[in-house]
């Protein structure tokens, strides 16, 4: 049993500690001596960045959304650092993040919460695009099944691309004919199972567009694309915005990453 703090609890602890150091510590002696009730400090905690306000509601930032806040703040900090330090356009430049560029947790949250976090993040990506600084992220030991989802569709007998007919698992023709669904060959497989045996060390896969809901409906021209790279015995997922994937900037990502990449056909 793990008795340690969860990631959410650690973030709340750190925020409260920051408020204590910055807001309470400088005035604690005053309130101890005066005996006044610290209403201004109550207001500080009430307005702390633990809620999203829309004028009539206070929506708590909790669970996975709290992790999104951290990821967004890391991206904004990276953007500010890149804008300040990567001013020499004659040298190769890259803004590389740890973890995904896709804010998965925002797909099913309140629209106010989604916009509160997503709009600043997209503004950061847009700023990097204007500065022509490629943005990428590095995901170690990815458990992604996105490409395998595409493979499942390839095995589905009901998908007709020319007729724009997609899969409908509830009306699977294999099941109706007492056959095991053709897509079951992909059951429980992840993208690493497909690419790891087929890539040599340093090789990368083709580039794919992520069909994650939040990327498709919310990212506009920053929609996230990805590819895989084999690094030793590990398969790494690299994510980039569409404007990186669609230009020679993708080659810059490869050249500046800490490995040598060749394309596998």
Query: Model confidence over 208-223: pLDDT tens digits?
Result: 999 999 999 999 999 9
Give the global pTM.
0.75
**Strand segments (E) across the chain:** 51-53, 58-60, 95-98, 135-140, 203-204, 208-209, 224-231, 234-241, 262-263
DSSP letter for 1, please. -
What is the pLDDT, as a whole number, of residue 254?
58
Contact 185, 153 (CB under 8 A): no
Does 135 have pLDDT greater than 80? Answer: yes
Residue 240 CA to residue 59 CA, distance in Å, equals 31
Residue 167 CA to residue 172 CA, distance in Å, equals 8
Average pLDDT, the chain: 83
In this prediction, residue 195 has a pLDDT band, given cuts at 50, 70 and 90, of very high
Q: Which residue from 121, 42, 38 is spatially nearest to 74, judged by alpha carbons?
A: 121
Looking at per-residue pLDDT, the higher value among 109 and 198 belongs to: 198
Q: Which residue from 224, 226, 194, 221 is spatially nearest to 207, judged by alpha carbons?
A: 226
What is the pLDDT, as a whole number, of residue 19?
79
pLDDT above 90 covers what percent of the chain? 35
Does 196 have pLDDT greater than 70? Answer: yes
pLDDT digits (tens, 9 = 90+) for 66-80: 778 888 888 888 888
DSSP letter for 156, please. -
Does 260 have pLDDT greater than 60? Answer: no
What is the pLDDT, as a whole number, of residue 262?
37
pLDDT digits (tens, 9 = 90+) for 8-56: 667 667 777 887 888 888 888 888 888 888 888 767 766 666 667 666 7
Q: Which residue from 108, 68, 77, 113 is spatially nearest to 95, judged by alpha carbons?
A: 77
Sign of the alpha-carbon dihedral angle for 256, 191, 66, 115? positive
Residues 147-161, mean pLDDT to the nearest whole number: 90
Residues 58-64, mean pLDDT to the nearest whole number: 69
Residue 265 CA to residue 154 CA, distance in Å, equals 19
Does 88 have pLDDT greater than 60? Answer: yes
Does 263 have pLDDT greater than 50? Answer: no
Contact 230, 200 (CB under 8 A): yes
What is the pLDDT, as a whole number, of residue 189?
92
Looking at per-residue pLDDT, the higher value among 24 and 59 belongs to: 24
Task: Name the residue ranges covered by the structural domains of the chain.
Answer: 7-48, 92-144+190-263, 152-185
Residue 152 CA to residue 30 CA, distance in Å, equals 67
């Amino acid at each position: 049993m793990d008795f340690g703090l969860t990631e959410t609890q650690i973030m709340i602890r750190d925020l409260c500690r920051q408020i204590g150091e910055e807001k309470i510590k400088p005035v604690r002696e005053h309130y101890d001596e005066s005996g006044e009730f610290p209403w201004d400090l109550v207001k500080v905690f009430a307005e702390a960045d633990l809620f999203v306000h829309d004028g009539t509601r206070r929506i708590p930032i909790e669970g996975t959304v709290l992790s999104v806040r951290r990821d967004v703040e890391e991206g904004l900090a990276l953007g500010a650092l890149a804008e300040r330090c990567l001013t020499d356009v004659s040298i190769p430049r890259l803004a590389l993040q740890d973890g995904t560029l896709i804010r998965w947790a925002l797909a099913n949250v309140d629209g106010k919460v989604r916009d509160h976090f997503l709009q600043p993040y997209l503004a950061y990506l847009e700023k990097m695009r204007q500065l022509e600084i490629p943005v990428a992220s590095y995901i170690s030991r990815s458990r992604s099944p996105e490409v395998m989802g595409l493979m499942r569709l390839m095995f589905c007998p009901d998908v007709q691309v020319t007729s724009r007919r997609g899969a409908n698992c509830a009306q699977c023709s294999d099941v109706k004919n007492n056959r095991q669904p053709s897509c079951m060959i992909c059951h429980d497989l992840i993208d690493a199972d497909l690419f790891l045996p087929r890539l040599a060390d340093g090789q990368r896969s083709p580039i794919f567009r992520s069909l994650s809901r939040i990327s498709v409906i919310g990212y506009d021209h920053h929609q996230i694309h990805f590819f895989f790279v084999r690094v030793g015995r590990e398969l790494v997922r690299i994510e980039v915005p569409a404007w990186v994937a669609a230009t020679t900037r993708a080659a810059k990502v490869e050249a500046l990453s800490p490995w040598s990449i060749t394309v596998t056909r």
